Each structure stands twice: as C-alpha cells, then as structure tokens.
Structure 1
Amino acid sequence: MSVLFTFPGQGAQRPGMLHRLPAAPSVRETLDHAAEVLGRSSDSLDDETSLQSTEAVQLCLLIAGVAAARLLATMGTLPGMVCGLSVGAFPAAVIAGVLDFTDALRLVALRGRLMEQAYPHGYGMTAIEGLMPPTLEPLLAELRADGLPVYLANINSDTQLVIAGSEEAMAIAAERARERGARRSRRLCVAVPSHCALLDAPAETFARAFEDLPLTRPRITYLSGNLARPLLRPDDIAADLARNMARPVLWLDSMRAAWERGARLAVEMPPGSSLTRLAQSSFDGTAIAVDGNRVDSVVAAVVAANSR
C-alpha cells in the first residue's frame, strides 16, 4: 500500500496559514530556515495584505507544504508518492528529495514575481462546475477567435474545470457555460492566468533559472500534476517545474494515475482541503487533509491504510 502526499496550489491560501501550522520543532526549523533564506519572517508573508502578492502566496504554500510533510516524517509517516498542483509541485519535489529547500524558496519567489509582473491586474482564474471539456473547449475557442483571451487551465475532477484569462473573457465564458448546462461558476482567489499560453513567456524566462541548478533523482515517486505520470530523471523534473505555470493541470488524471500505481490514501498538506475533496472519487473516499484534523489522527489514518 502506498500513501500519496498532495500539495495544493494558489487559491488555497488563507491569512495566518503559517501561524496555524502545528507547534513542533520541525515546523519551527522550517519557518526559521525560510526566514533566513528570504530575509523576512513568516509574520510578513501570511497576513491579509501580504497575500495580495502572488509571490507571497506561492512562498506560503511552499513553506506550509514542506513544514507539514516534515512534521509527519518525524512521526514515522512517509509517503510513497508525492504530487503537487501548480506551485504545489515545488514542495512535492523537496519532499521527494529532488530539490533543495533553499533552492525551492528562491525559485518560487522568482516564479511568483515573474507571473505577477506579466499580469499585475485584470486577469485570473474561474472554476466551472458541471461541464465536460468537449463542451467547454469549443466555447473558449469561440471567445479567443473574437479576441478574448481565455483558456482551459485545469481538469480537476469529473465535474470541475478551471479557466484562465482576462476578467472580461472569464465573465463571458462563465455566463455562456451556464447557458450550456454548467451548474455554477466561481472566481478563484488567483490573480494571474495560470496554466495556459498566456504564461509562455514568463515560463521561458523561469526555465533559465534551472540551467545550472543541481537536482537529484527522487527518493520516492514524483508524480507530475501536469503530465499525470511519474518522472524519474532530474532533467525531466526540472522541465516540469520550470514550465508548469504555462501547462494545463491534469489533476483528475494524476489522481487516477496514483491509484493505478498503488496509492490507496491521499493525504493533503496544508492549507485547506480542496484536494481532499477532489481525490474522493479516485480514492474511493480514502483521503484526508492535515488541516482540520489532529496530526495524530492523520498518522493513525496512514498506519491503518498501510495495515490493509
């Protein structure tokens, strides 16, 4: 039996998320390490004002994911696989032993800045529920033909898709999606149009940061959330991390791939529990989030899953 650790992406953030991490030495060490590398404490990253910045949001998600996974490791709870959604791929790579945490902090800070500089306002992401890609994609293509930038960005589940683009384009797309049977649409707390061609140029710039960066082979299975398959070679993982901001997220396929490879419990690192809800169908309901549960309860769930 294998346990999958999942790491959320932008949109899962919430004020005070780093302060709500469990009080434990390994968590404190992770926060102190991050503060030393970044030259700023967690107090200046996770308040409501700071989280208006894409850079701060992505750093908080990296730090929270690594801190929680390290805490579970101190309690003997280790994953057999890791998978991260969007920026969640970076803490996944750290826990898989591919990427040094110091390097990850510097890379994610750069990633956030590049994305924010490319689209400082007027763009973002919207969840569409109740349509399948064959229905939604032609609608988006029609809007692009009319000069409205909007793309399919995430296939999160059988019932949830995410689009990325300008505010105007997303609003029109959401209205037309509802006309074609979508149950509802919801603007996500994401200030940039991730996982589509709009970020090709920042992704190209970001890829240069990996040219002389030492990555190692994963100690545990690293599952790409954009390719929905395991990656073994450091160069392949570097390319996955470098360009995932501009590639669609195939989360549904990734969870199915994890199940097919033997994962039977999905454990979501903080913040939030959105990935736990998305994993329910693929994992027959066997998914749990660190947020909202006692750490010893999470450990007990892993032990129980491994004993089956």
Structure 2
Amino acid sequence: MSVLFTFPGQGAQKPGMLHALPDHEAAAYTLAQASAALGRNVLALDTTDALRSTVAVQLALLVAGVATARVLDALGAPPHMVAGLSIGAWPAAVVAGVLDFTDAVRLVELRARLMEDAYPSGYGMTAIGGLTRQQLAPLVAHVHGPDTPVYVANLNAPRQLVVAGAAAALDAVAALALDHGAHRAERLAVAVPSHCPLLDEQARTLACAVAQVPRRRPRLTYVSSSKARALFDADAIVADLAGNMARPVLWADTSRHAWERGARVALEMPSGSVLTRLAQDADFAACTALCVDGNRLDTLVQIVRDAR
C-alpha cells in the first residue's frame, strides 16, 4: 500500500495559510529559505489583499506544500508518490527531489508574473458541475471566437470540469451549461486563464528559464497531472512543469493512475480540501483520502506510518 501526497492548485489559497503551518523547525526553515530566495518576507504573501495577486497565490501554495511535506517527512511520515494540480506540480517536484526549493521559488515567481502580466484583468476560470466533457465541449465551441476565447481546461472528475478564458466567454458558457443540465457554474478564485493555449507564449518563456536550473532524477514517484502518468526522467519532469500552465489538467486520470500504481492513502497538502473530495468521490477511491487542513498532525503522521 502506497501513500500519495497531493498538492492543490490556485483557488485553494486562503488568508493566513502560511501562518497556520505547523510549529516545527522544518516549516520555519522552509519559510526562511523562501524569504531569502525572494528577498522579502514570505509571510507577507498570505494576507487577504496580497492573495489578490497571482504571484502571491502561487508562491504561497508552493511554500505551504513543501513546508508541510517536510514536516511530515521529519516526523517519519513521507510519501511514496506525489502529484500536483497546476501550480501544485511544483511543490510535488520539489518533494520528489527533482528541483531545489530555492530554484522552484524563483521559477514559480516568474511563472506567476508571466501569467499575471499577460492577463491582469478580464480573464479567469469557471467550474462546471454536472456535465461530461462530451456535453460541455460543444457549448464551449459555440461560444469560442477571436473576441471570446474559452477552452475546457481542467478535467477534475467525469462531471467536474473547469473552463478558462475571457470573462464574457466564461459567463456565456456558464449560462449555456446551466440551460443544458449543469447543477453548478461558479467562477473560481483564479484571475488568469490557466491550462489553455492563451498561455502558450508564457510557457515557452518559462521553459527557457527552467532549462537553466539543475535537476535530478526523482527519488520517489512523480505523477504528472498534464500527462496522467508517472514520469521518471528529470528532463521530462522539468519540461512538464514549464508547460503545464498551457495544457489541460487531467486530474481524474491522474488520480486513477496513482491508484493503479498502488496509492491507497491520499493526503492533501494545504490549503483546502478540493483534491480530497475528488478522491473520496472517485469510483476507484483510495482507501483513505484526507487533507492536512482540519486534521491533527499526530493523526496524519500515524495514518501515513500505518500505510507504509
């Protein structure tokens, strides 16, 4: 039986998330490392005002994920495999030993800034619940155009999808989806159109920066949410990280792949519980799926130890 650590994407952030990290030297060390890499206090990133910025959100999720995984590792509860949704792939790669944390901090800051500068306003993402990809795709195609770009971006579950694009296009797709049987159409707390061709140029720029940093073969199994399969080559993983902002997220297939590789405990790093609920609802559900938020650290440690 294997333990999977999952790392959430944008939308999972919440005020105070870095201040709520465990009172442990591994977390304190991670915060200090991040502050040194950024040249400013990373704890300033988790205020309500700061989290309006894509840069702050992505950095906060990176730091929270790595810090929590390090604490669990220090307490004798490491994972066998990791997977991350969108920005969550970056802390997953750090925990897998592919990237140094300080390099990841600088690259994630660049990633987020490229995205934010390209789309400072008027774009975003909307979650659609209750329709399959086959039902939603024609509605997206009907709205999509030069002035109303919109794409299917995340396949989180068979009937839990996310579209990305311009605000007017998102509203139009949402209205059509509700008319065609969707039970939910909700704008997410994501200010950029992630996981679609609108970010192709930014992904190419990031790839040039990623090519300059050292990388190592993963020391545990890294499952790509862009490819929904495990990657074992360091170059393939960093290429996956650079490009994932412009590629759809195949989270349902990623979860299934991890289950097929033996994952029976899925533990979601901060912040939030979205990935935990998806794991609990899956038809191949892990034996145990839970999140760090809202659970005692000693309980989590014992669950992971028991599964190893």
Contact 2:133/2:158, CA 8 A, preserved across alignment: no
CA apart distance, 1:147: 4.0
Contact 1:279/1:285, CA 8 A, preserved across alignment: no
For residues 181 and 288 of structure 2, the distance between their equivalents in structure 1, rounded to whole angstroms, comes to 30
Superimposed CA distance per residue, residues 261-300 of structure 1 (whole angstroms, 9 cap, x where no aligned partner):
1111100000111110011124245201011101111112
Q: Normalising to structure 2: TM-score of the pair?
A: 0.97
| Counterpart in the other structure of 1:291 | 293
User: 1:200 aligned to 2:200?
Assistant: yes
Unmatched runs of 5 consecutive residues or more in structure 2: none
Superimposed CA distance per residue, residues 128-183 of structure 1 (whole angstroms, 9 cap, x where no aligned partner):
00000001011111111474211000000122100001110000100000111101
Q: Normalising to structure 1: TM-score of the pair?
A: 0.97
SS of equivalent residue, structure 2 residue 186: strand
SS of equivalent residue, structure 2 residue 290: strand
Contact 2:15/2:47, CA 8 A, preserved across alignment: yes
- Percent of residue pairs bearing the same amino acid type: 59
| Counterpart in the other structure of 2:252 | 252
User: 1:4 aligned to 2:4?
Assistant: yes
Name which of structure 1's ranges 215-224 and 145-154 shifts more when overlaid on structure 2: 145-154
| Counterpart in the other structure of 1:75 | 75
CA apart distance, 1:22: 1.1
For residues 213 and 34 of structure 1, the distance between their equivalents in structure 2, rounded to whole angstroms, comes to 17
For residues 139 and 12 of structure 2, the distance between their equivalents in structure 1, rounded to whole angstroms, comes to 27
1:61-72 correspondence runs (5 A): 61-72=61-72
| Counterpart in the other structure of 1:267 | 267
Aligned residues between the structures = 306
For residues 214 and 190 of structure 1, the distance between their equivalents in structure 2, rounded to whole angstroms, comes to 30
2:109 corresponds to which letter in structure 1? Answer: A
2:272 corresponds to which letter in structure 1? Answer: G
Contact 2:31/2:43, CA 8 A, preserved across alignment: no
For residues 184 and 146 of structure 2, the distance between their equivalents in structure 1, rounded to whole angstroms, comes to 24
For residues 305 and 213 of structure 1, the distance between their equivalents in structure 2, rounded to whole angstroms, comes to 35
Superimposed CA distance per residue, residues 199-253 of structure 1 (whole angstroms, 9 cap, x where no aligned partner):
1111111111022221110000000011100111111111100000000000000
Contact 2:155/2:161, CA 8 A, preserved across alignment: yes
| Counterpart in the other structure of 2:278 | 278
| Counterpart in the other structure of 1:116 | 116
For residues 36 and 239 of structure 1, the distance between their equivalents in structure 2, rounded to whole angstroms, comes to 26
2:274 corresponds to which letter in structure 1? Answer: S
Say if 1:181 and 1:40 are closer, same or farther in 2 by CA, change over 3 A.
same
| Counterpart in the other structure of 1:230 | 230
For residues 287 and 50 of structure 2, the distance between their equivalents in structure 1, rounded to whole angstroms, comes to 35
CA apart distance, 1:304: 3.1
Contact 2:133/2:159, CA 8 A, preserved across alignment: no
| Counterpart in the other structure of 1:180 | 180
2:297 corresponds to which letter in structure 1? Answer: V
SS of equivalent residue, structure 2 residue 161: strand
Q: Which runs of 4+ in 1 moved over 4 A?
A: none
| Counterpart in the other structure of 1:155 | 155
1:164-175 correspondence runs (5 A): 164-175=164-175
For residues 127 and 255 of structure 2, the distance between their equivalents in structure 1, rounded to whole angstroms, comes to 19
Name which of structure 1's ranges 166-175 and 276-285 shifts more when overlaid on structure 2: 276-285
| Counterpart in the other structure of 2:106 | 106
Unmatched runs of 5 consecutive residues or more in structure 1: none
Contact 2:96/2:219, CA 8 A, preserved across alignment: yes
SS of equivalent residue, structure 1 residue 219: coil
Superimposed CA distance per residue, residues 56-110 of structure 1 (whole angstroms, 9 cap, x where no aligned partner):
1100000000000000001111111100000101100000000000100000000
For residues 268 and 43 of structure 1, the distance between their equivalents in structure 2, rounded to whole angstroms, comes to 21
For residues 65 and 120 of structure 2, the distance between their equivalents in structure 1, rounded to whole angstroms, comes to 26
